[in-house]
Amino acid sequence: MKFRFRRQGTDPQREKIKQELFAFNKTVEHGFPHQPSALAFDPKLHLMAIGTKSGAIKVYGAPGVEFTGLHKDTTAVTQIHFLPGQVRSIPFALSASRHLLLQQGVVCLQEVGNYSLPGRPGIESCSATRVTVLLLLKSCDLLCIGTEGGGVYFLELPRLFREVANVLFSSLPDDYRCGKSLGPVEALQEHPQQAGKILIGYSRGLVVLWDLSSRHIGQLFLGKQQLESLVWERSGNLFVSSHNDGGYAVWPNVFSVWLSPSGPFPCKAISKILWRTTQTGSPVLLYSGGMPRASYGDRHCLTIQQDKDHITLDFTSRVIDFFTIHSIEPDKEFDDPSALVVLLEEELVVIDLQTPGWPSLPTPYLAPLHSSAITCSCHISSVPPKLWERLVNAGKAQQGRQQSWPICGGKNLAPPPKQQELLLTGHEDGTVRFWDASGVALTPLYKLSTANVFHTDCDPSDDPQDPSDDPDLQQEEEWPPFRKVGCFDPYSDDPRLGIQKITLCKYSNKLLVAGTAGQVIVLGLSDERSDHLVDVSVVDLLQDREGFTWKGHDRLEPRLKPAPFAPGFQPLVLVQCLPPASVTAVALHAEWNLISFGTSHGFGLFDYHRRNAVLARCTLHPNDSLAMEGPLSRVKSLKKSLRQSFRRIRKSRVQEANAALAEQEEVAPVQRRIEPRSADDSLSGVVRCLCFADTFLRDGTHHGPTLWAGTNSGSVYAYALEVPGIGTGRACERGGPSESSVCVEAVLGKEIQLMHRAPVVSICVLDGRGKPLPDPYEASQDLAIAPDMTNTHSVLIASEEQLKVFSLPKVSAKTKFKLTAHEGCRVRKVALVVFSSTAQEDYSEHTLVCLTNMGDMHLFNIPGLRPQVRYDCIRKEDISGIASCVFTKNGQGFYLISPSEYERFSLSAKVLTEPVCSVQLDRPLELTQTR
C-alpha cells in the first residue's frame, strides 16, 4: 500500500513528451455574435465590423479572414466607424454615459463610465452631454460628436478628446438658440463632394448645413416631423431625411418633397434611410421601419424600392443596422449598389441588388447556428472525398444559384486543411444541419429535415390554399408586398420533432437520427430525388410490463403514403420506441446492419437490413415510479416521500461515518473517496451509453460481435451477438439458410454492477495493445490498423465518479482512477483522442479526455489511466456550455458560449484551427492576425 500511494517524482523525458503532445488554446468562435449592437463597413478594404453588447468587436472579410477584440469592461458597443483604408475604427459603447475608443482595427462608441464633454454654462448639464451620434470626416483627421444637449464637438484624430470647438450655438438664429427647441443631435452627414460641409439634424426637425472652414451656417432646413436619419445623394444636389411618423422627405433645396410610403394611416418611424443612384436613372431607396402600426406594428421590416419594383423584407428579429456595397470611386457617376447587408438581432442577411427579384445570398460564415435551438451535436473527422462531394452537391441543390460573397477583404493565409471535417447539429425543429468545420469559417453545407417522415400539425396539406390556385384570392394582393427573409425561426412546429442523438458512418453513408418522441430513423445517401414510403417498426421496451401509465406526449404518426425526398440523406427505416420517451443513447454498426437505441425505460437492438427487432430490454428499477409515470408527472406518493426522507437521514449518517473514517484512512494524493448511491434513485433505468464491439465475451479464444449498454444506476449489460456471416455465429457454423433469412440473435453474456452505482457515461473496448477498436469498415478496407485480436482485450468504463478498466472476458478489474472530489466534481463527457507529437512526425498517443461539471479537462493515458495534464476550459457556472461540449478525434473540441456561437478549442499542441490572415492597407503596411 505504501508503494501504491507513494508520490512519484516527475520524469523530465515524459514532461518533454507531454509538452510536444498537449497544449490548451481557445482558437476561434464559430457562428453568429450574441446580442449584436453595432455595424460598420470599410468600402476600400471590404471589411465588416460587428460590435456586441458584451464589448466584443469582430471584423470579417473573405471567408477565413477574422479579427476579434474584446474590451476589458463588459460594455455595449453602440457605434463603429472605420477609418477607410487604414484598418482602424472607432468603437463607441454605453454605460451611464459614453466613451470614445480608438483601436487598431476600428472607431467605437462604448458605454464605460462618465465621459463628459465641456458644455455651455447654464444650458448643458452633465447628463445633457451624452453622445448620440458620431461622424468621421473623409479627411480622417476630425471626429464630429453630436450630443443629447444639441451640441456638436470636433475632436482631432488620432489624439481623441482634444476639443477643436463647440461651434454651433453661437451661429444659430435667435429662435433656435435654446437647446430645448432643438432636441438631441440625431444625424451628422458630410457633403459627398464638398469636404467640410456637414448636415446636422436635430430630433425636433431642424436640419443645418454647417461649413466647417468658415464655421458658419450655410442653410437651414425646417422639417415637419421628428427627425430619425439623414443621407446625401451621391452628387450632393439633394439629401433625404426620414422621420418618426413613417414618412421621408427629399430636399433638393430649402423646400422638401414629403412622401409617406405606407400612409395615410399612422406608421412606425423610419429609423434609417439610404438613397443610392443607378445608371438606369431610377434611384434605389432603402429604409427600415415605416410600416402601418395597426396592421404591421409587430413586424421587423426593411423596404427596397426602385421605380415600380417594391419589396418589403420581413424578418423574424429586430433590424440593428444595414449598409450597401456600392461604387465609391470618385470618377464614377453612380452608386450602382451591388448588395445590401442587414444586421439583425439574430442573423446576418445579404441581398443581391444586381439580380432581378433581389434574392438573398447564402452566407459562408456568420450563419445563425440557433436558427432553431441546438439540441445535440456530433463531429466527423477525415470525411472521405466522395461523401464530401455528394454532401456539397446536395447542399447546392437546396441553395440554388451560387453568388460570390461581397464582403471579400483581406487574405486568408491559413494552409488548406489536410482533411475535411463535418460538424453535425441537431435542432428542435427536427432538422440536422451539416457544417464545414475544416477551417475558421463554419460554412453551412446541407440541411436535412425529418419532419416530412411524420404527420405534424403544420403539414403542407393543412396550410391555407395557395393564392395562385384561386382566381378570387389573386385579386387581393397584400400591400406592401412582403417577403419572408432569413432562416432564424425560434418556434418549433412540434416539440416532438426535436433531435436528441446523431451518429454517422462515413464509409457506408448511413446516418442514424433519434428524437424526443422515441423516433429512431436510419437514413441513406442518395443523389436523386425520390418518392417512397418509409418502413416503420415499433419496439416496446417495456414488453407489456404491468402497472405502467405513460403520461408524456403521444408518439409521432408516420406518413402512410409515399413522401417526396430531395437529394441527400433519405429515410430508409423508422423505428418507434414505446413508450415514446426521448432517446438518450444510440449506436450504429453499418458493417453488421445493426442499430441500438436507449431511452429512460430501456434499450433495444434492431436489424435495419432485415427490418426486425432483435432485442428489447427494460432497465427500470421497480422503485422508478417517476420513470414509470412519465416525464410530465409531478405527483409524489406518500410512500415515496417517506422513502426520500429516510434516504436523506441515511445519507447524512453515511457522511458522518465517512468524516470519521477520513481521519484514520490514508487516501491517494489525487484520488478521492466515492460515496455510494441509493439503488432506488429516480430514473436509474435511463440508458446513458451504447457501444458495439468485436471482442471476447464468452471465452478467451473466440471473439465476435457484442453490444454494451450502460445505465444511470451504474449497471452495464454486455450481449453476445450472432450476426449471419460475421464471426463464429451458429448460422455460419450450421451452414443453414441464406443470410437474408437468418435473424440476428442476442444473448446476455455479462452484467456488471458498479459498486457506487454512479451513472455510466461511456463504454469503450480496447484491443490487445490497449488501443480503441477501429470504426466499422476502417480495418476491413485498410483505412486503419487492424486491432490486435491475439492478446486479451479489456473494456474501459467511465462513470460520473471514476474511470475503470476491466479485463475480458472475465471482467476482472485491472486499474481505476477515482475522479470524484468532495466539492461535487462529476464526469460529464468522455472521449478517446489521438494526440500527435509536434517533434516526431510518426509519434502519437491515444488519450482519454474527460470533462467534468467544474468545466475542467483531465487527460489520462490508456489503458494505465495515469493523469497527464489538466486544463480549466469552461466556467463551472456555464452549464449549457459543459452540456454542449463535443470532442474531435484529433484533440479539438466545440462548446456553446451562447445560443448562436461555438467556441472552438484545442488540447493538442499540433492541431490548431485558428485565423491566420492579413489585410493590405493603402499605406505600405500590412496587418496580420493570428490568435
DSSP-derived letter for residue 363 is P
Taking Cα atoms as reference points, which of 88, 85, 131, 120 lies closest to residue 107?
88
Taking Cα atoms as reference points, which of 292, 291, 288, 298 lies closest to residue 341?
288
Given a contact cutoff of 8 angstroms between Cβ atoms, the answer to whether 829 and 840 are in contact is no
* Per-residue b or e along 92-101, where b marks 16 or more CB atoms closer than 10 Å to that residue's CB: bbbbebbbbb
Reported as half-sphere exposure (CB side, CA atoms, 13 A), residue 507 has a value of: 16
User: In degrees to the nearest 10, what's the CA dihedral of 646, 647, 652, 653?
Assistant: 70
Preceding peptide of 283 cis, ω within 30°: no
User: Residue 557 has which C-alpha cell?
Assistant: 404518426
User: Residue 455 has which C-alpha cell?
Assistant: 404527420
User: Residue 166 has which C-alpha cell?
Assistant: 463647440
Spatial separation of the C-alpha atoms in residues 673 and 816, rounded to whole Å:
12
Taking Cα atoms as reference points, which of 444, 372, 446, 486 lies closest to residue 63?
444
Strand partners, 133: 146
Taking Cα atoms as reference points, which of 586, 455, 569, 413 lies closest to residue 514?
586
Cβ of 572: how many Cβ atoms within 10 Å? 18
In which element (H, E) is residue 164 found?
A: strand 163-166
Given a contact cutoff of 8 angstroms between Cβ atoms, the answer to whether 59 and 67 are in contact is yes
Spatial separation of the C-alpha atoms in residues 388 and 438, rounded to whole Å:
12
Taking Cα atoms as reference points, which of 552, 559, 566, 434 lies closest to residue 502?
434
Taking Cα atoms as reference points, which of 815, 765, 830, 763 lies closest to residue 794?
765
Given a contact cutoff of 8 angstroms between Cβ atoms, the answer to whether 259 and 248 are in contact is yes
Mean pLDDT by 10 residues, the chain (931 residues): 52 93 96 95 93 92 90 82 70 49 48 36 43 87 86 77 53 61 90 92 91 85 89 94 92 70 80 95 93 88 94 95 94 94 97 94 94 96 96 91 87 91 96 96 95 77 42 51 90 89 96 97 96 95 80 90 94 96 96 96 96 93 54 39 50 47 42 57 84 94 95 96 74 46 89 92 96 90 88 95 94 91 80 96 95 95 95 95 96 96 96 87 49 45
Chain center to CA of 834: 25
DSSP-derived letter for residue 394 is H
Indicate the residue type of 23: A
Supply the DSSP string of 581-650, one letter for each residue: PPP-EEEEETTTTEEEEE-SSEEEEEETTTTEEEEEEE---TT-HHHHH-TT-----HHHHHHHHHHHHH
Spatial separation of the C-alpha atoms in residues 449 and 434, rounded to whole Å:
11
Which domains does the chain possess?
33-374 (2.130.10.10)
Find the length of the chain.
Answer: 931
Q: What are phi and psi of 521, to 5 degrees?
A: -120, 130
pLDDT of residue 874: 96
Q: CA end-to-end span of the chain, whole Å?
A: 47
Taking Cα atoms as reference points, which of 73, 88, 63 lies closest to residue 141?
88
Given a contact cutoff of 8 angstroms between Cβ atoms, the answer to whether 369 and 900 are in contact is yes
Spatial separation of the C-alpha atoms in residues 779 and 923, rounded to whole Å:
56
Q: What are phi and psi of 785, to 5 degrees?
A: -65, 130
Taking Cα atoms as reference points, which of 611, 609, 613, 608 lies closest to residue 577?
613
Reported as half-sphere exposure (CB side, CA atoms, 13 A), residue 811 has a value of: 13
Q: What is the pTM of this model?
A: 0.87
Given a contact cutoff of 8 angstroms between Cβ atoms, the answer to whether 514 and 520 are in contact is yes
Burial class (CB in 10 A: 0-12, 13-18, 19+), 588: buried
Q: How far is CA 326 from CA 42, 191, 347, 578, 919, in A?
A: 11, 17, 22, 59, 20
Cβ of 734: how many Cβ atoms within 10 Å? 9
User: Residue 619 has which C-alpha cell?
Assistant: 432497465
Supply the DSSP string of 348-395, one letter for each residue: EEEEESSSTT-PEEPPSS---TTSS-EEEEEEE-S--HHHHHHHHHHH
Taking Cα atoms as reference points, which of 274, 376, 399 lies closest to residue 326?
274
* Residue tagged 490497449 (cell numbers): 770
Strand partners, 82: 89
Residues 6+ positions from 916 with CB-CB distance below 8 Å: 412, 413, 414, 928, 929, 930
CA angle 627, 376, 451 (to 5 degrees): 85
Spatial separation of the C-alpha atoms in residues 256 and 259, rounded to whole Å:
9
Spatial separation of the C-alpha atoms in residues 45 and 85, rounded to whole Å:
6
* Residue tagged 478498466 (cell numbers): 805
* Residue tagged 490548431 (cell numbers): 912
Given a contact cutoff of 8 angstroms between Cβ atoms, the answer to whether 88 and 105 are in contact is yes
Q: What is the 3-state secondary structure (H, E, C) of 90-102?
A: EEEEECCCEEECC
| Helices first, then strands: H and E counts in the chain | 10, 65
